[in-house]
Protein backbone atom coordinates (compact mmCIF):
# COMPACT_ATOMS: atom_id res chain seq x y z
CA UNK A 1 0.00 0.00 0.00
CA UNK A 2 1.31 3.41 -0.98
CA UNK A 3 0.70 6.44 1.22
CA UNK A 4 2.08 9.53 -0.52
CA UNK A 5 3.95 8.41 -3.64
CA UNK A 6 0.72 7.64 -5.53
CA UNK A 7 -0.92 10.99 -4.76
CA UNK A 8 0.68 13.46 -7.21
CA UNK A 9 -2.36 15.71 -6.85
CA UNK A 10 -1.25 16.41 -3.25
CA UNK A 11 2.44 16.90 -3.98
CA UNK A 12 2.29 20.62 -4.78
CA UNK A 13 0.55 21.46 -1.51
CA UNK A 14 2.89 19.26 0.53
CA UNK A 15 5.97 20.74 -1.14
CA UNK A 16 4.86 24.25 -0.18
CA UNK A 17 4.12 23.20 3.41
CA UNK A 18 7.44 21.36 3.68
CA UNK A 19 9.37 24.40 2.44
CA UNK A 20 7.56 26.59 4.98
CA UNK A 21 8.27 24.07 7.75
CA UNK A 22 11.99 24.02 6.92
CA UNK A 23 12.26 27.80 6.53
CA UNK A 24 10.64 28.47 9.91
CA UNK A 25 13.08 26.08 11.57
CA UNK A 26 16.01 27.62 9.68
CA UNK A 27 15.09 31.17 10.72
CA UNK A 28 15.05 30.07 14.36
CA UNK A 29 18.20 27.97 14.30
CA UNK A 30 20.57 29.30 11.62
CA UNK A 31 21.32 32.77 13.10
CA UNK A 32 22.27 31.22 16.43
CA UNK A 33 24.40 28.57 14.71
CA UNK A 34 26.16 31.18 12.60
CA UNK A 35 26.86 33.50 15.52
CA UNK A 36 28.14 30.66 17.68
CA UNK A 37 30.38 29.45 14.88
CA UNK A 38 31.66 32.96 14.17
CA UNK A 39 32.72 33.47 17.81
CA UNK A 40 34.72 30.23 17.78
CA UNK A 41 36.17 30.90 14.32
CA UNK A 42 37.18 34.47 15.22
CA UNK A 43 39.26 33.11 18.08
CA UNK A 44 40.92 30.66 15.69
CA UNK A 45 41.77 33.48 13.29
CA UNK A 46 43.19 35.58 16.14
CA UNK A 47 45.37 32.63 17.10
CA UNK A 48 46.57 32.26 13.49
CA UNK A 49 47.47 35.95 13.35
CA UNK A 50 49.41 35.62 16.58
CA UNK A 51 51.32 32.60 15.27
CA UNK A 52 52.25 34.37 12.03
CA UNK A 53 52.99 37.70 13.72
CA UNK A 54 49.99 39.27 12.00
CA UNK A 55 50.86 37.71 8.62
CA UNK A 56 54.37 39.17 8.63
CA UNK A 57 56.09 35.87 9.43
CA UNK A 58 54.52 33.05 7.40
CA UNK A 59 57.62 30.87 7.47
CA UNK A 60 57.95 27.10 6.96
CA UNK A 61 58.52 26.36 10.66
CA UNK A 62 55.27 28.10 11.64
CA UNK A 63 53.26 26.24 9.01
CA UNK A 64 54.95 22.95 9.87
CA UNK A 65 54.12 23.29 13.57
CA UNK A 66 50.59 24.63 12.93
CA UNK A 67 49.21 23.07 9.73
CA UNK A 68 45.62 23.88 10.71
CA UNK A 69 46.17 27.59 10.02
CA UNK A 70 46.27 27.02 6.27
CA UNK A 71 42.48 27.28 5.62
CA UNK A 72 42.49 30.54 7.59
CA UNK A 73 45.38 31.93 5.57
CA UNK A 74 43.57 31.10 2.32
CA UNK A 75 40.67 33.29 3.48
CA UNK A 76 43.06 36.15 4.32
CA UNK A 77 43.87 36.87 0.68
CA UNK A 78 42.28 39.06 -1.97
CA UNK A 79 40.44 37.31 -3.41
CA UNK A 80 40.11 34.37 -1.01
CA UNK A 81 41.58 31.34 -2.73
CA UNK A 82 40.27 27.80 -2.91
CA UNK A 83 42.44 24.87 -1.92
CA UNK A 84 43.09 23.75 -5.50
CA UNK A 85 43.92 27.30 -6.56
CA UNK A 86 46.54 27.51 -3.82
CA UNK A 87 48.06 24.22 -4.96
CA UNK A 88 48.33 25.56 -8.50
CA UNK A 89 49.60 29.03 -7.62
CA UNK A 90 52.24 27.72 -5.22
CA UNK A 91 53.09 24.75 -7.45
CA UNK A 92 53.11 22.37 -4.50
CA UNK A 93 51.99 18.81 -3.94
CA UNK A 94 48.27 18.35 -3.35
CA UNK A 95 49.27 15.72 -0.80
CA UNK A 96 50.94 18.41 1.30
CA UNK A 97 47.95 20.75 1.29
CA UNK A 98 45.37 17.98 1.79
CA UNK A 99 47.25 16.59 4.80
CA UNK A 100 47.58 20.03 6.35
CA UNK A 101 43.91 20.92 5.94
CA UNK A 102 42.20 17.59 6.49
CA UNK A 103 44.67 15.79 8.74
CA UNK A 104 46.21 18.75 10.56
CA UNK A 105 49.62 17.31 9.84
CA UNK A 106 52.55 17.28 7.46
CA UNK A 107 52.64 14.16 5.24
CA UNK A 108 54.75 11.74 7.32
CA UNK A 109 56.51 10.20 4.33
CA UNK A 110 57.27 13.39 2.44
CA UNK A 111 60.95 14.28 2.21
CA UNK A 112 62.05 17.04 4.57
CA UNK A 113 63.44 19.13 1.74
CA UNK A 114 60.19 18.87 -0.23
CA UNK A 115 58.17 19.86 2.81
CA UNK A 116 60.34 22.90 3.48
CA UNK A 117 60.24 23.98 -0.15
CA UNK A 118 56.46 23.54 -0.36
CA UNK A 119 55.77 25.46 2.84
CA UNK A 120 58.05 28.27 1.70
CA UNK A 121 56.12 28.55 -1.58
CA UNK A 122 52.79 28.56 0.24
CA UNK A 123 53.95 31.33 2.57
CA UNK A 124 55.13 33.39 -0.41
CA UNK A 125 51.76 33.13 -2.16
CA UNK A 126 49.84 34.08 0.98
CA UNK A 127 52.04 37.12 1.56
CA UNK A 128 51.72 38.29 -2.05
CA UNK A 129 47.93 37.97 -2.04
CA UNK A 130 47.24 39.08 1.53
CA UNK A 131 44.27 41.47 1.58
CA UNK A 132 45.80 44.82 2.59
CA UNK A 133 42.35 46.35 3.01
CA UNK A 134 41.78 43.94 5.88
CA UNK A 135 45.40 44.02 7.07
CA UNK A 136 46.47 47.68 6.49
CA UNK A 137 49.57 47.27 8.64
CA UNK A 138 51.19 45.14 5.96
CA UNK A 139 51.70 48.29 3.85
CA UNK A 140 52.11 50.84 6.60
CA UNK A 141 54.66 48.65 8.43
CA UNK A 142 53.07 49.82 11.68
CA UNK A 143 52.22 47.54 14.56
CA UNK A 144 48.46 46.88 14.41
CA UNK A 145 46.25 47.84 17.32
CA UNK A 146 44.11 45.29 19.13
CA UNK A 147 41.05 46.80 17.47
CA UNK A 148 42.59 46.35 14.02
CA UNK A 149 43.53 42.71 14.57
CA UNK A 150 40.09 41.95 16.02
CA UNK A 151 38.36 43.63 13.08
CA UNK A 152 40.52 41.68 10.64
CA UNK A 153 39.81 38.45 12.50
CA UNK A 154 36.03 38.92 12.33
CA UNK A 155 36.17 39.59 8.59
CA UNK A 156 38.22 36.47 7.89
CA UNK A 157 35.98 34.49 10.27
CA UNK A 158 32.92 35.60 8.27
CA UNK A 159 34.57 34.26 5.12
CA UNK A 160 35.16 30.94 6.82
CA UNK A 161 31.78 30.67 8.51
CA UNK A 162 29.75 30.00 5.40
CA UNK A 163 31.54 26.71 4.85
CA UNK A 164 31.63 25.85 8.53
CA UNK A 165 28.03 26.73 9.40
CA UNK A 166 26.38 24.65 6.65
CA UNK A 167 27.46 21.26 8.06
CA UNK A 168 26.40 22.39 11.53
CA UNK A 169 22.93 23.23 10.23
CA UNK A 170 22.67 19.93 8.35
CA UNK A 171 23.70 17.94 11.42
CA UNK A 172 21.26 19.82 13.64
CA UNK A 173 18.46 19.22 11.15
CA UNK A 174 19.19 15.48 11.09
CA UNK A 175 19.23 15.31 14.89
CA UNK A 176 15.92 17.16 15.03
CA UNK A 177 14.33 14.82 12.50
CA UNK A 178 15.44 11.74 14.43
CA UNK A 179 14.24 13.32 17.67
CA UNK A 180 10.83 13.92 16.08
CA UNK A 181 10.55 10.28 15.03
CA UNK A 182 11.74 9.10 18.44
CA UNK A 183 9.18 11.22 20.28
CA UNK A 184 6.38 10.07 17.95
CA UNK A 185 7.25 6.39 18.47
CA UNK A 186 7.68 6.63 22.23
CA UNK A 187 4.27 8.27 22.58
CA UNK A 188 2.90 5.10 21.01
CA UNK A 189 4.72 2.70 23.31
CA UNK A 190 7.78 1.92 21.22
CA UNK A 191 11.14 1.50 22.96
CA UNK A 192 14.49 2.75 21.73
CA UNK A 193 17.32 0.23 21.35
CA UNK A 194 20.91 1.37 20.90
CA UNK A 195 22.35 0.33 17.53
CA UNK A 196 24.21 -2.95 17.52
CA UNK A 197 26.26 -3.39 14.37
CA UNK A 198 26.13 -7.17 14.78
CA UNK A 199 22.37 -7.17 15.29
CA UNK A 200 20.34 -9.15 12.75
CA UNK A 201 17.50 -6.95 11.49
CA UNK A 202 15.15 -9.94 11.71
CA UNK A 203 15.79 -10.21 15.45
CA UNK A 204 14.76 -6.70 16.40
CA UNK A 205 11.97 -7.19 18.98
CA UNK A 206 8.46 -5.92 18.16
CA UNK A 207 7.68 -2.35 19.31
CA UNK A 208 11.40 -1.52 19.17
CA UNK A 209 13.34 0.97 17.07
CA UNK A 210 16.98 1.92 16.53
CA UNK A 211 18.97 4.69 14.85
CA UNK A 212 21.90 4.56 12.41
CA UNK A 213 21.68 0.82 12.02
CA UNK A 214 24.17 -0.92 9.71
CA UNK A 215 22.25 -3.32 7.49
CA UNK A 216 24.26 -5.96 5.58
CA UNK A 217 23.54 -6.16 1.84
CA UNK A 218 25.02 -8.07 -1.08
CA UNK A 219 27.03 -6.13 -3.61
CA UNK A 220 25.81 -6.60 -7.18
CA UNK A 221 28.17 -8.66 -9.29
CA UNK A 222 30.45 -10.23 -6.69
CA UNK A 223 27.88 -11.10 -4.02
CA UNK A 224 30.07 -9.78 -1.21
CA UNK A 225 28.34 -8.41 1.87
CA UNK A 226 28.78 -4.78 2.89
CA UNK A 227 26.98 -2.70 5.48
CA UNK A 228 24.84 0.25 4.49
CA UNK A 229 23.65 2.70 7.16
CA UNK A 230 19.92 3.13 7.69
CA UNK A 231 18.85 6.15 9.73
CA UNK A 232 15.90 4.45 11.46
CA UNK A 233 14.66 0.87 11.67
CA UNK A 234 11.37 0.06 13.41
CA UNK A 235 9.83 -3.31 14.15
CA UNK A 236 6.03 -2.82 14.33
CA UNK A 237 4.14 -3.94 17.41
CA UNK A 238 2.23 -6.63 15.52
CA UNK A 239 5.25 -7.96 13.60
CA UNK A 240 5.47 -11.72 13.26
CA UNK A 241 8.67 -13.73 13.63
CA UNK A 242 10.87 -13.36 10.59
CA UNK A 243 9.35 -10.03 9.56
CA UNK A 244 11.46 -7.22 8.20
CA UNK A 245 11.44 -3.89 10.03
CA UNK A 246 10.35 -0.63 8.48
CA UNK A 247 13.47 1.25 7.32
CA UNK A 248 13.50 5.04 7.15
CA UNK A 249 15.98 7.43 5.58
CA UNK A 250 15.73 10.96 7.03
CA UNK A 251 16.23 13.58 4.31
CA UNK A 252 16.28 17.36 4.56
CA UNK A 253 17.26 20.04 2.06
CA UNK A 254 17.57 23.82 2.09
CA UNK A 255 17.24 24.23 -1.67
CA UNK A 256 15.85 22.36 -4.67
CA UNK A 257 19.16 21.96 -6.53
CA UNK A 258 20.97 19.53 -4.25
CA UNK A 259 18.01 17.17 -3.86
CA UNK A 260 17.96 16.35 -7.56
CA UNK A 261 21.69 15.70 -7.48
CA UNK A 262 21.26 13.23 -4.62
CA UNK A 263 18.05 11.47 -5.62
CA UNK A 264 19.87 8.43 -7.03
CA UNK A 265 21.32 7.63 -3.61
CA UNK A 266 17.99 6.31 -2.31
CA UNK A 267 17.34 4.35 -5.52
CA UNK A 268 20.71 2.64 -5.16
CA UNK A 269 20.05 1.86 -1.51
CA UNK A 270 16.63 0.27 -2.06
CA UNK A 271 17.97 -1.73 -5.03
CA UNK A 272 20.64 -3.23 -2.75
CA UNK A 273 18.08 -3.95 -0.04
CA UNK A 274 15.68 -5.65 -2.45
CA UNK A 275 18.48 -7.67 -3.99
CA UNK A 276 19.37 -8.99 -0.54
CA UNK A 277 16.02 -9.24 1.27
CA UNK A 278 13.47 -9.45 -1.56
CA UNK A 279 10.66 -7.25 -2.78
CA UNK A 280 9.01 -7.19 0.64
CA UNK A 281 11.55 -4.64 1.87
CA UNK A 282 9.83 -1.68 3.53
CA UNK A 283 11.95 1.40 2.88
CA UNK A 284 10.58 4.94 3.03
CA UNK A 285 11.85 8.51 3.25
CA UNK A 286 11.19 11.09 5.98
CA UNK A 287 11.24 14.42 4.15
CA UNK A 288 11.62 18.01 5.29
CA UNK A 289 12.44 20.98 3.11
CA UNK A 290 12.90 21.53 -0.58
CA UNK A 291 11.85 18.40 -2.46
CA UNK A 292 10.16 19.22 -5.76
CA UNK A 293 7.92 17.19 -8.07
CA UNK A 294 10.90 16.02 -10.13
CA UNK A 295 12.50 14.49 -7.06
CA UNK A 296 9.24 12.96 -5.82
CA UNK A 297 8.41 11.53 -9.24
CA UNK A 298 11.84 9.91 -9.49
CA UNK A 299 11.51 8.27 -6.07
CA UNK A 300 7.94 7.15 -6.77
CA UNK A 301 9.08 5.53 -10.02
CA UNK A 302 11.65 3.58 -8.01
CA UNK A 303 8.91 2.30 -5.70
CA UNK A 304 9.94 4.50 -2.78
CA UNK A 305 7.25 6.08 -0.61
CA UNK A 306 7.69 8.84 1.95
CA UNK A 307 6.33 10.68 4.98
CA UNK A 308 6.50 14.47 5.25
CA UNK A 309 7.73 15.73 8.58
CA UNK A 310 4.89 18.26 8.71
CA UNK A 311 2.51 15.26 8.53
CA UNK A 312 4.44 12.84 10.71
CA UNK A 313 1.26 10.99 11.71
CA UNK A 314 1.35 9.35 8.27
CA UNK A 315 3.86 6.97 9.85
CA UNK A 316 0.98 5.02 11.35
CA UNK A 317 -0.19 4.17 7.82
CA UNK A 318 2.97 2.07 7.42
CA UNK A 319 1.86 -0.40 10.07
CA UNK A 320 3.10 1.48 13.13
Contact 195, 172 (CB under 8 A): no
Please state, in angstroms and rounded to a whole number, the distance separating the CA atoms of residues 308 and 318: 13
Q: Please tell me the predicted confidence (pLDDT) of residue 242.
A: 83
pLDDT tens digits along 88-142: 999 999 999 999 999 999 999 999 999 999 999 999 999 999 999 999 999 988 9
Nearest of 149, 134, 114, 143 to residue 43 by alpha carbon: 149
Q: Please tell me the predicted confidence (pLDDT) of residue 231.
A: 94
Contact 193, 211 (CB under 8 A): no
Q: Please tell me the predicted confidence (pLDDT) of residue 22.
A: 94
Q: How confident is the model at residue 163 (pLDDT cuts 50, 70, 90)?
A: low
According to DSSP, the β-strands at 282-289 and 305-308 are parallel
Please state, in angstroms and rounded to a whole number, the distance separating the CA atoms of residues 159 and 41: 10
- Is pLDDT larger for residue 290 or for residue 220? 290
Q: Please tell me the predicted confidence (pLDDT) of residue 267.
A: 84
Q: How confident is the model at residue 37 (pLDDT cuts 50, 70, 90)?
A: confident
Give kind and range of the element (H or E) at residue 136: none
pLDDT at 291 over 90: yes
Q: Please tell me the predicted confidence (pLDDT) of residue 110.
A: 93
Mean pLDDT for all residues in the chain: 90
Q: Please tell me the predicted confidence (pLDDT) of residue 197.
A: 46
Rg, Å, the chain Cα set: 25
pLDDT tens digits along 180-223: 999 999 999 999 988 654 557 888 889 999 999 888 888 776 76
Other CB atoms within a 10 A radius of the CB of residue 27 amount to 9
pTM strictly above 0.95: no
pLDDT tens digits along 39-73: 989 999 999 999 999 999 999 999 999 999 999 99
Q: Please tell me the predicted confidence (pLDDT) of residue 251.
A: 92
DSSP state of 77: B
Q: Please tell me the predicted confidence (pLDDT) of residue 195.
A: 64
Task: List domains and CATH numbers for the chain.
Answer: 8-28+170-318 (3.40.1350), 34-165 (no CATH)
Burial degree of 141 (CB within 10 A; 0-12, 13-18, 19+): exposed
Lowest-confidence region among 230-234, 273-277, 301-305:
273-277
Amino acid sequence: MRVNSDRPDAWKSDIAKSVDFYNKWFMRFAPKAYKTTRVVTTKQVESALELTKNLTDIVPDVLKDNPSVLPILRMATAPPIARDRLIGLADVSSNLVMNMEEGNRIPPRMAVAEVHSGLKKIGRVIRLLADDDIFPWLNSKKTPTNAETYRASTIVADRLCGAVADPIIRNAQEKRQLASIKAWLQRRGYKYSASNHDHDIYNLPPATFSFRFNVPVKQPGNGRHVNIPIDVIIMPKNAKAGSLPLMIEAKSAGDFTNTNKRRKEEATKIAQLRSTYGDEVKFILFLCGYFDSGYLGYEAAEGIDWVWEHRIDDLQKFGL
